[in-house]
Amino acid sequence: IILFVLRKKRGRFKQIVTGGVQNPSYGDVVAAKYMRNTDTAQVYPNFQEDTHLYAAPDTEESYEIDQREVYQEIDDIYLYPHTELQPVVRNGGINNSDGEEREFFTESDIYWVPASNTAELYEQLSKYRFREIRRDQLQITEHLGSGEFGTVNKGVWEGSPDKSREVAIKLLQKGASEESQVKFLQEAALMGQFSHPNIISLLGVVTLGEPVMIVMELMENGDLKENLISMRPIPGELPPNSLYQQLLDFCHQIAAGMTYLADKSFVHRDLAARNVLLSGNTCKIADFGMARDLEESTYYTSQGGKIPVKWTAPEALHYRKYSTASDVWSFGCLVYEIWSLGHKPFENYTNSQSLCTIHR
């Protein structure tokens, strides 16, 4: 056990005694098992099964520790080293033997189900090595929209592997309920499990302090629905010939992304043009928190939550039975949106009228 002593300096705690496993690639390295309080005062890893380093405070809370020399109010921190030969977790990412940071994503044949409470969700995010981005590395530059649980913003990530890049940042509103926090973190937990050219990419999370943030790749052109509406020709004019190939390409891209999700046994449940983002001519499926950040009239509320009626298969509407088949139904509705240049399915019908029409 190596003892770390922290001394308060100008309102912060500064590391004055350093140590750790000496590795030619990393130098002194400290890593934390948890990204925030999980009601665990000490961490005792199983070295036979886990080759990573862990830091644990002697208080009632666990904190992320790294070489930033800026810490929470902790008096002592202990390291539990295992080996000098293995890569270690640092700042939420994974280091290769060559010292270069890789993305936290690890491909899996099937997705794991996010927990239903915040404590377990934070443990999952740490277990699966989701990148914890430092709050001071993010700068919000533009407000893009608001939703049920917070805001979506354009920003810059100064500490990214690419040095600096524009990103999209979702902020959970301060003082959000436990239920809202769970749904917010569940979306991040799901998004971080997927890696496909037509699925929106999670870059990391900010869970230390408030507000909690989800950092994603930025899709400069916004959602597909608004782009389709902008493609409508002026009355009396014919659309350009290239438009049809572009619309067909949109369908192919979205089908490819949905096939990837289906292969992982994941059901999206809310596939629609509003939940597909566009950058150039590239489509990416987004919004893995169902029935969020949308106008109320799009959904009706049942015992199990909100449902996008006009995009939802009958068996899902009546029996809450979602499957790849119900996603295929939604994909058909999305294809209608694409080829009608942004018109809704059953556009002139109320939700009730559309239900009756489907059952005829």
Q: Residue 313 is encoded by which pair of tokens?
A: 């298969």
- Count the neighbouring beta carbons within 10 Å of the beta carbon of residue 71: 19
Was 170 annotated as part of a binding site? yes
Classified as helix, coil or strand, 282 is strand
285-290, long-range: CB < 8 A, 24+ apart: 285/198, 285/199, 285/200, 285/254, 285/257, 285/258, 285/261, 286/200, 286/216, 286/219, 287/187, 288/187, 288/190, 288/191, 289/183, 289/184, 289/186, 289/187
Which amino acid type is present at position 315?
A: E
- pLDDT tens digits for 322-353? 899 999 999 999 999 999 999 999 999 999 99
Region of poorest pLDDT, from 100-104, 107-111, 175-179, 309-313: 100-104
Q: Is residue 270 flagged as an active site residue?
A: yes
Task: Kindly report the pTM of this predicted structure.
Answer: 0.68
* End-to-end CA gap in the chain: 72
Distance of alpha carbon 107 from alpha carbon 7, whole angstroms: 41
Is the pLDDT confidence value at 252 over 90?
A: yes
Segment 144-153 shows an average pLDDT of: 85
Structure confidence at residue 242 (pLDDT): 94
Backbone torsions φ then ψ of 306, nearest 5 degrees: -85, 145
Residue from 50, 66, 98, 270 carrying the catalytic annotation = 270
pLDDT class for 304, splitting at 50, 70, 90? low
- pLDDT tens digits for 189-247? 999 999 999 999 999 999 998 899 999 999 999 999 999 999 999 998 988 989 999 99
- pLDDT tens digits for 23-53? 333 333 333 333 333 333 333 333 334 434 3
pLDDT class for 93, splitting at 50, 70, 90? very low
Q: How far is CA 25 from the centre of its chain?
A: 30
Structure confidence at residue 317 (pLDDT): 87
Is the pLDDT confidence value at 258 over 90?
A: yes
